[in-house]
Amino acid sequence: MNDRLELTLANQRSALARSQDELESFARQHGLPARVLHPVQLALEEHLTNIIAYGYDDPLEHNISVRVLLNHPCLRIEVEDDGHPFNPLEYPSPDLAKPIEDRPVGGLGIYMMRKSLDGIEYSHTAGRNRLVMLKRI
């Protein structure tokens, strides 16, 4: 059984379903519980959605690399893209005490990523963003 999943996705919304299907299949093969899979699915979908929606100014197709590594006791998800530099760790957390109509649009997905994962690392090198997400099994 391969402890690694590697995907190359186009920067198109249709790639989201493929990433979710592949991640579910990988989790099933390795017997990963829902308490691990669901937060990882949420975080990956949020991050990919942000890359697709905001990462590029041109209409060209760009590749997004996703690597999922099962390295007990953690599941490691690495996402690389050549979009605009964006560090989600520097994005301010929403003020959840404010009524929803008084909050600015955006940021809730990044907040949920931070809360549902056990670790997130970001780097930007040689024109590429790299986000590493960790979830304890």
Our CA angle for 24, 28, 31, nearest 5°, is 135
At residue 81, the pLDDT reads 98
At residue 110, the pLDDT reads 76
* Cα–Cα distance for residue pair 134/47, rounded to 1 Å: 14
H-helix or E-strand containing 18?
A: helix 14-29
- Residue pair 133/120 in contact (Cβ under 8 Å)? The answer is yes
* Cα–Cα distance for residue pair 31/74, rounded to 1 Å: 13
At residue 43, the pLDDT reads 94
At residue 128, the pLDDT reads 97
Tell me which residue of 8, 45, 38, 6 sits closest to 24, measured CA to CA. 38
At residue 88, the pLDDT reads 84
Tokens read off for 99: 């009524």
* Cα–Cα distance for residue pair 36/13, rounded to 1 Å: 24
Q: Peptide bond before 73: cis, by omega within 30 degrees of 0? A: yes
What's the average pLDDT block by block, 10 residues per block, for the chain (137 residues)?
91 96 96 95 94 94 97 94 91 58 57 87 97 96
- Residue pair 24/37 in contact (Cβ under 8 Å)? The answer is yes
Question: Domain residues of the chain, as ranges?
Answer: 4-136
Q: What is the pTM of this model?
A: 0.87
At residue 100, the pLDDT reads 58
* Cα–Cα distance for residue pair 41/34, rounded to 1 Å: 10
Hey, what CATH class is 4-136 in? Answer: alpha beta
